[in-house]
A and B are shown apart, each in its own frame.
Chain A
């Protein structure tokens, strides 16, 4: 049963969707001679290597195991020799440790894990499989799915995020068209793990073919397809939950606080493969798009493929791109190197041509209030921006800066071209550092014997909700 436009979330924008690659079927990438596999492709602790340099590995073999509860293992994308652990440029511009796998050209697969049944197998087995396969949120946040599937609050609803509201990206769209059964098998496995009955698939109304496809399989897998209004950021976790169920996640809360778990369709497909075929997560569907790209298209790329290789697969560029973005144009990260490897969360590579890229000087806030009208979290970005600009992060905290999902709607609509998201992120980083320091101080005060431990507040941001 299709439920059309159940709820509207507040605010949001409607950018030109530019999904030029939506007709392009997912193509298999050829084997590359080397792969650069980062040790940290997820939020949380980096994985711990279990192979030594010089060792020969097979495709899908474990390279590194989870380094903590919030962590995920890493598997080899092909068969070949493991090089010494080096560093490579990550999408955030920092150097991250990585394996270099030199392919032996045979692409021999390791023995897959035994197949499980998504409905009949025990939840514990399925959960272990999700963890062993190294599944993370593939919509962008790369939060380990195992953690997501272990809520400590009662959950009654699973929502599949097939919204893909970021302009340009079509990876999830193609996946829903071409491999819906695997997605729904993965969803069934998640539902079994969580023990929930209500499974919804949220898809934006601009993908009627995907909706029809999912609809045709809905009764077989017992899911409900929700056609959602085309509006960015419809795919953000909290907005999606509101649109589908009408529940509002409280300030500072998580989806499980309202009994929901949201999973990206890409992650569900990966779970499906892990459960049905015993295949760990070492490849993903990525959109290579943008005006300079000769053939904007969708590719099944292995992790460790560089952006340069991916762009070359899509026919290279017709003009010099001015900007390379990992992910979508609204929430993606600008990268400056083509040596950045594809990671588990790289949903797209977007190139912008010189005439598409507008460089603005930003001006003072004119208090027009447009950002307030468009903020889907109903915050006041203008106030947050001004407080952060003046380094009054205490005030930014009082105005709930930490609730910002960094969707970029405010920056998009601002007539003064103010980099509001950047301001808010700065404030958030400061607030998080202070909170961590306070927590550490409280911990040290509570401990009977204060041990001198070096505390290094990491500048990592808060886990971001998925938005696509």
Chain B
């Protein structure tokens, strides 16, 4: 149990995907202008990453390791994740229109999200079991969503601030992200 708690805490806070591992920066900057869209994106990422963690760890264990072709994992994972997202999108559109509309463009965006691929590769590197992979991916996604929502709240405030003209837009967003990352460094040491 303690193992899982430290795994979850580590994934959410200590080794936060965005702020510590610097993965998934594109959606982090792209959809963090409003807290409402950040919530949508965060939800979508949690959903997809958990699913992707489950599926990729199964494929890793029963296909790649079995046939000893682990060097192929990147291309296989991309293929699997992309197809998975497509299937999820089609199903979602059929099953729940409100949820589909809420997630909107974020679902296809996740296809190319390196955080999803990153989590799958970390799981395979660390030789996590299927359950552990799923838990790890879910926690990582929660960490991603947390960083995204925090950042979007800061950016909403930033919109009202007087920013020097050369720093407007992405520049000040990156500076803010760096300060946020430094704040998250304070978590290192937590959970061993």
Chain A neighbourhood of B159, CB < 8 A = 390, 392
Chain A neighbourhood of B161, CB < 8 A = 386
Chain B neighbourhood of A392, CB < 8 A = 159-160
Chain B residues 74-88 with CB under 8 Å of chain A are none
For the complex, is B162 an interface residue (Cβ under 8 Å from A)?
yes
- Cα–Cα distance between A386 and B159 once the two chains are bound (Å): 10
Chain B residues 161-182 with CB under 8 Å of chain A are 161-162
- Cα–Cα distance between A257 and B164 once the two chains are bound (Å): 47
Q: Mark A388-403, 1 if CB is under 8 A from B, else 0.
A: 0110100100000000
Closest to A389 in B: B160
Interface size bracket, A side: under 10
- Cα–Cα distance between A392 and B161 once the two chains are bound (Å): 12
- Cα–Cα distance between A387 and B160 once the two chains are bound (Å): 6
Chain B neighbourhood of A390, CB < 8 A = 159-160
Q: Mark A352-393, 1 if CB is under 8 A from B, else 0.
A: 000000000000100000000000000000000011011010
Q: Mark A191-232, 1 if CB is under 8 A from B, else 0.
A: 000000000000000000000000000000000000000000
- Cα–Cα distance between A282 and B98 once the two chains are bound (Å): 64
- Cα–Cα distance between A367 and B173 once the two chains are bound (Å): 21
Chain B neighbourhood of A395, CB < 8 A = 160
- Cα–Cα distance between A386 and B157 once the two chains are bound (Å): 10
- Cα–Cα distance between A387 and B156 once the two chains are bound (Å): 11
Closest to A387 in B: B160
- Cα–Cα distance between A392 and B160 once the two chains are bound (Å): 8
Chain B neighbourhood of A386, CB < 8 A = 160-161
A132 → B minimal CB distance (Å): 51
Chain B neighbourhood of A389, CB < 8 A = 160
A381 → B minimal CB distance (Å): 14
Are A364's CB and B162's CB within 8 A? yes
- Cα–Cα distance between A395 and B156 once the two chains are bound (Å): 11
Which A residues are within 8 Å of any B CB, using their own CB?
364, 386-387, 389-390, 392, 395
Closest 4 CB pairs of A and B: A364-B162, A386-B160, A390-B160, A387-B160
Q: 10 A-B pairs, CB-CB below 8 angstroms?
A: A364-B162, A386-B160, A386-B161, A387-B160, A389-B160, A390-B159, A390-B160, A392-B159, A392-B160, A395-B160
7 other contacts beyond A364-B162, A390-B160, A395-B160, with CB at 8 A cut-off? A386-B160, A386-B161, A387-B160, A389-B160, A390-B159, A392-B159, A392-B160
